[in-house]
Amino acid sequence: MKKILVANRGEIAIRIIKSARKMGIKTVAIYSDIDRNAPHVQFADEAIRIGENASNKSYLLGSKIIDEAKKMDVDAIHPGYGFLSENANFAEEVEKNDLIFIGPKSDSIRTMGDKLAAKDAVKDFDIPMVPGVDSAIDNIEKAICVAEEIGFPILIKAAAGGGGKGMRIVNNLEELPSQMERAISEATSAFGDGSVFIEKYISSPRHIEIQVLADSHGNVVHLFERECSIQRRHQKVIEEAPSSILTPSLRKKMGDAAVKVAKSCDYLGAGTVEFLLDQDLNFYFLEMNTRLQVEHPVTEFITGVDLVQEQIKIAKGEKLSFNQDELNIKGHAVELRVYAEDSLNNFTPNIGVLETYRIPEGKNIRVDNGFREGMEIPIYYDPMLSKLITYGSTRMEAIELMIEAINNYKIVGVETTLPFGKFVCEHESFRSGNFDTHFVNDYYSAEKLKKEIKEEARIVALLGLKIYLEDQKKLRIPTN
C-alpha cells in the first residue's frame, strides 16, 4: 500500500494522514470549494477538488471520489467517520473497483448499519439485549401490544438511526400514537427509511462501548471500554477510558460479548460495540459502529495502540501483532469534543470566524484539531472544531489536566463547549464517577454555568486587585 485517499475532512482527515505518514504511505486529501485551503488539504501530500460545498455535492459523492482515486493511482480509501464511512454501497463500489476499503467488508456494514438487522445477527451469540421487539413496527395496534408487554417508559427508535436522531421516549399509552407518528416521519426525513422499533427505556443507563479489532486471519481482540455517558441530545460530548464503574470481571464479560458481536458479522478492522449499562450493572447490546469512532484517542492513550495504524495494517492483510493477554490498561484518558456550540443557549451551533484560536500544549495533552486562527467555520458540516484529550496516571490527574487545558484553550469569535467541559470536570457527580446519561438534564443549566463564570470573573478581579494593592505597597516610596 503506497497511497491512501482520505475521503473526509477536518481533524479526522489530519489524524489519518499522520498515521499513514508514520508508515511511509503517501496521502491524497479531497475537498469541497470552501475547504480549498483547509488544514487537512495543506497537510496531505496531494489534494483533489471533489465539488461544491454541500456534502451531497462533495464529500458524499462516492463514485466521483472513487474515479479520482483511480486517476491518482491510489491503493486504498480511508473513509474516517461520518460521511461515507458507514455506507455499505460505497464500500462495495470501492471493492469492485479493485481498491481497498480501509474498514470492514460491505456486508458487515450493511448488517450492522441497520439496528434491527444487527439485533438479528447477534441473536444466536448469547448477547444480552434491551427488552423490546426485533422487527419493524408500522402500526399503532402492534405498538400498543408491545408497549403493554414491556411496560412504560418505552423508546421508539429508527432502524436506520444515527447521531441520536429519530428517537422518542414515550411515558404512557396516551402519548403513544402521536409519538409513533412523529418518529416515523422523523426517520423518513432523516434516513429515507421510516422503519421504527420499540425498546424498553432504560431509566438511568450509562453508555459503555467496547473497542474491537479484527484481522483477516480470524483474530479478534477488544481494547477495553470507553465511557460515553456525558451526552446532550443523545450525543456524546465527553468520553473517558477506562470507565470508573467497571470491575475487572464486568470488563471481561463486556469485552467477550463485544468480540462475539464482531464475530457474528464476520467483522474486519476497527469497530465499536455499544452497550447500555443499567443501575444494577446489567449490560445490553445497543448497536455496532463499523468505523473508527470520534472518541478513539482515549483508547489509544490507555493502551498505547495506534488504532489508525492497526486499521491500515489489517487492510493490508497483516495479522494483529498482539493478542488479548498482551493488552493492558495504563492510566486514564478524558476527551472533550470542542464543538462550535453555545453551551449557554441549549447547545445551538454557533458559526463564525475564529478571531483568536490557540490550542493548549503540553505533556499528556493531545488536541486532534482541524482549524486555525482566522478561519471561518463552514455551515455545511459538523460544527466540531477539535477534540481535546488529556491523560494521567489516575482519573483525577486526567480530569485536573483537562481543566488546565480548557483554561489554556483560547477561542474568540465563536461560542464553544469548552465552558461546559469545565463545568462537567468540576462537578462533584462527574468527579465521583457517580453519573449516567442524564447528567446534562440532572445537573446542568445555562444559569448555573453563567453563575460559575460570574463567580470566576469576581475571583479573578479580586486577585487582580490584591496584586495591585501589594504592588502599590512594594512600590511606595519611603517618606523619611
Q: Which is nearer to ligand ADP, 207 or 222 (CB)?
A: 207
CB 91 within 8 A of CB 103: yes
162 vs 360, which CB is nearer to ligand ADP? 162
Listed in sequence order, the residues at least 6 apart from 466 whose beta carbon sits closer than 8 Å to its beta carbon are: none
Least CB distance from residue 206 to ligand ADP, whole Å?
A: 9
What is the distance between the alpha carbons of residues 348 and 257, in angstroms, rounded to a whole number? 37
- Judged by beta carbon, residue 8 or residue 272, the one nearer ligand ADP is 272
Rounded least distance, CB 140 to ligand ADP, Å: 20
* Residues in touch with ligand ADP (CB under 6 A): 130, 155, 161-165, 199, 201-202, 205, 207, 231, 234, 274, 276, 286-287, 437
Minimum CB separation of residue 310 from ligand ADP in Å reads: 23
Our CB check for ligand ADP shows the closer of 48 and 154 to be: 154
| Closer by beta carbon to ligand ADP, 5 or else 208 | 208
The minimum distance between CB 285 and ligand ADP, in angstroms, equals 10
Q: How far, in Å, CA of 85 to CA of 332, rounded?
A: 28
Q: Which of 291, 337, 366, 395 is catalytic?
A: 291
The smaller minimum CB distance to ligand ADP, of residues 18 and 165, is found at: 165
The minimum distance between CB 466 and ligand ADP, in angstroms, equals 45
CA atoms within 13 A on the CB side of 107: 8
291 is catalytic: yes
In whole angstroms, the minimum distance from the beta carbon of 275 to ligand ADP comes to: 9
**Which of 228, 315 has the CB closer to ligand ADP?**
228
* Nearest approach, Cβ of residue 212 and ligand ADP (Å): 16
Catalytic residues: 291
